[in-house]
Amino acid sequence: MPVLMIATYNEDGSVNVMNAAWGTMQERGTVALNLTESHKTVKNIKAKGAFTVSIADAAHVVEADYFGIESGNKVADKFAKSGLSATKAECVDAPVINEFPHCI
């Protein structure tokens, strides 16, 4: 099962990423996410109206796990601590995690 990583920008422009344990690909071109209101990522999505979904790979299992364990509500620089890098998406106001092989 793919590990879905949801990326947004925080209010200060820093990158936020969460591991969406309750997300799945329903059919070609459709992803369903079940996210709780209390997540920092959901607050960012509501504020910005944008996010990206990346698929983590085996080479980055430690980072993907970290994004699922650590809360952006408690650790403001969570993404910076991961050692990964990001680029602004071309079509939405959200980050693309450079090290993950696929992003939508």
Q: Which residues contact 22 (CB under 8 A, 6 or more apart)?
A: 33, 34, 35
Q: pLDDT over 90 for what percent of the chain? A: 65
DSSP code, position 94: S
> Of 104, 53, 62, which is closest to residue 83 (Cα–Cα)?
62
- State the Cα torsion 38-39-40-46 to the nearest 10°: -80
DSSP code, position 101: S
Q: Give the pLDDT band of residue 49 (cuts 50, 70, 90).
A: very high
pLDDT digits (tens, 9 = 90+) for 4-23: 899 999 999 999 999 987 77
- State the Cα torsion 73-58-85-69 to the nearest 10°: 10
Mean residue pLDDT across the chain:
91
